[in-house]
Chain A
Amino acid sequence: MKKKFTKFSWPVLTAALLLSACGGDGQSADGEASGSQESVELLNVSYDPTRELYDEFNEAFAAHWKEENGQDVTIQQSHGGSGKQGRSVIDGLGADVVTLALAGDIDQISKAGLLAEDWQTRLDDNSTPYTSTIVLLVRKGNPKDIQDWDDLAKEDVSIITPNPKTSGGARWNYLAAWAYADQKFGGDEEKIKSFVGDIFRNVEVLDSGARGATTTFVERGIGDVLIAWENEAFLSINELGDDKFEIVAPSISILAEPPVAVVDRVAERNGTTEVAEGYLEYLYSDEGQEIAAKHYYRPRNEEILAEYADQFPEINLVTIDEDFGGWSEAQAKHFDDGGTFDEIYVPQ
């Protein structure tokens, strides 16, 4: 008996030792960041296509904050698929602010107790300082003559889109197609499902994130059409030349609202609540809106939007709240295990 006890006490003892060993490490590293008043560090955990946007915005905000408060602020960035990023924040990635692809992912973080349930009412416009939409990116000359969602359901078209299970952008893609079918078939759910099913059966590569899907389409040359964020589509054209791709605006799409929020519990612990709030509010400032528009996000500010009106095609946009009953409903109906996406995609 005695021997058995010693055997099992090993893990417990070692765990205790490990904790005390690591404890020293962690605290010394973090103490510097939160202790000093002269400089402060923020971690913004974001989704894939915002890399370029926040590269520029972070610089602008740092300059603004220094001017206003005399404090140096360094902003760290982390990018990945929206779901993956949300998961990391829940697991303890110390994000002061999150800027994710959809409200559903921030809802999950709030469910884990890291921020208040009503987070989306704290900032204007559903806490989304900029919006985007879903467009179709095709190869130059549009060889398959793709004009609208109907053309995606045709048999000989090969489509690239990320996986709605893991990518926030892909969920917007899915809902945009659904919204189109909803109008086309007057709400007949069986027909909608078979239409969206036809589209997803044409999917050639289903990457786990929006950026991976873009790479597959743009760099690997696979597929006739990429269903993508508007800003991502513009970025591909800018990075790789407008002699290669064209943007096709479908007749109906969805108003994609990528929200932002301060992660209360982390910001409070790090003592960064004030600067984190300032950071998000600055996204609504003229300069913030200007930077968003420059990176092909549609700014909320009407004047700035008007200035950039040329670059955004006019599309009839449905919204998640009016047409899908908000994120939690849409998530449960379409994307949870056993939802419509599984019905369509997984052969039973």
Chain B
Amino acid sequence: MKKLKLKKHSILPGFGLSLGFTTFYISLLILLPLSMIFINTASMSWQDFWTTVTEPRVMASYRLSFGASFAAASINVVFGVLIAWVLVRYSFPGKRLIDGLVDLPFALPTAVAGIALTTLYAETGWVGQFLPFRVAFTPLGITIALTFIGLPFVVRMVQPVLQSFEKETEEVSAILGATRLQTFRKVILPEIFPAALTGFALAFARALGEYGSVVFIAGNMPMRTEITPLLILTKLEQYDYAGATAIAAVMLVISFVLLLLINGLQWWTNKRIAH
């Protein structure tokens, strides 16, 4: 009977059923499998664990994964805000089409994106042959793949904020003598900042774990173009289960922290939209 204290009284039915099913499903599909990472890692000593997750090759993969994801998410913030701005504020032919196309990276399988980008940016590819430097099989190629998959996040976060933005504020700013650039920096930018930051964090989190689009274009060289998710697989292929799960545990903790951060950011964004 104590159970009643679990929730506030509501006349709606189905609490036990829906929450029960939800908890059951999450435990089965998410918690139980994920706990395996920690159970397997727990069999290592702290010393072994630390050595495994900080060996030079692993450190190099963190640097690459974080660096490329950060670069890709940053590119996406700049162009994402630009695209959102253009889509909300200006009209031009084909705008509806472009708007719909922005979500392509969500709908296109990552492996398909991977082979398409590799074909374009390889030295013999359509784009690659005109570039004086190499793109495919370098960190630059990885950044391009990660930019592709993270492209919609910032656009779709910033767009609704710009749409609900009260133009009166801008008008007031203009009347008070601010230039257009000043208005943008002082009035508009602070308004879209939380949304852009959330978009950045989403794109970053997605890029950090991405595998399908990257493996084709990366070249996968240890110390140079080997991303952390690939290193987990490589460890497995060397029959090093402990090493693979240890690195996976580190990634998992990072994902979790990012997720909490994103939820915090999103709460901030929503508050902004609401007010």
Contact = CB atoms under 8 A, between A and B. Distances in A.
Interface of A: 3, 10-11, 14-15, 17-18, 81, 83-84, 86-87, 90, 108, 163, 165-166, 203-208, 212, 216, 220-222, 337, 345-348
B24 A10 contact: yes
A11 B23 CA distance: 10
A83 B238 contact: yes
B123 interface: yes
Given A163-B234, A205-B221, A208-B220, 19 more contacts: A10-B23, A11-B35, A14-B24, A14-B27, A17-B28, A83-B239, A163-B222, A165-B238, A166-B234, A206-B219, A207-B219, A207-B220, A221-B124, A222-B137, A337-B240, A345-B222, A345-B223, A346-B57, A347-B56
Given A11-B31, A222-B123, A346 B222 contact: yes
B56 to A, nearest CB: 5
Nearest to A17: B28
Contact of A165 (B28, B55, B124, B234): B234
B122 interface: yes
Nearest to B244: A87
B137 to A, nearest CB: 5
B236 interface: yes
B237 A84 contact: yes
Nearest to A21: B28
B124 A220 contact: yes
A204 B224 CA distance: 10
A166 B231 CA distance: 11
Contacts of A205: 137, 219-221
Contacts, number: 85
A347 B24 contact: no
A51 to B, nearest CB: 19
B101 to A, nearest CB: 28
13 contacts: A18-B28, A81-B237, A163-B222, A205-B137, A205-B219, A205-B221, A206-B221, A207-B220, A220-B124, A345-B222, A345-B223, A346-B223, A347-B56
Interface residues on B, range: 20 to 34
Nearest to B27: A10
Nearest to B223: A346
B136 interface: yes
B219 A216 contact: yes
A10 B223 CA distance: 42
Contacts of A206: 219-222
A87 B240 CA distance: 10
Nearest to A203: B221
